[in-house]
Amino acid sequence: MDLKAIANDLVAGCREGRERDNLVRLYAPDAVSVEAADMGNGREAVGLDAIRGKHDWWEEAMEVLEGDVTGPMLHGDDRFAVIFRIKAREKATGEVSQMQEVGVYTVAGGKIVREEFFY
């Protein structure tokens, strides 16, 4: 797959609730995910199992009330960005938050090899 196809598939999957399918289809086995801040498990998750663990944590901790995905915005032949806006409720406390982040994705060999989140 080329950059544009990968970027479009990632965004479509996020809009349609297919994030886990995206991991299998679009990510390299040794992909790296980097958060802007340490949420208790370090900033970097290396490999698909670790990235799945991030998804597990999010799904266990948060309930998404509303969401919007803007993009993709292509950059050269190996990167793209996506803007995520989410209204979510923390399950443990009931606290509702508005969140916004930019995801920057790097592609090599037809797979996402790195994602970085800015918020």
In three-state secondary structure terms, 48 is: helix
In order of their start, the domains of the chain are 3-118 (3.10.450.50)
Average pLDDT, whole number, for the chain?
A: 96
In terms of Cβ atoms closer than 10 Å to its own Cβ (0-12, 13-18, 19+), residue 107 is buried
User: H or E stretch including 8?
Assistant: helix 3-15
Angle at 19 between CA 116 and CA 48, to 5 degrees: 60
Per-residue model confidence as pLDDT tens digits over 13-38? 999 999 999 999 999 999 999 999 98
* pLDDT average, residue stretch 38-44: 85
Instruction: Name beta bridge partners: 41.
Output: none
- pTM assigned to the model: 0.94
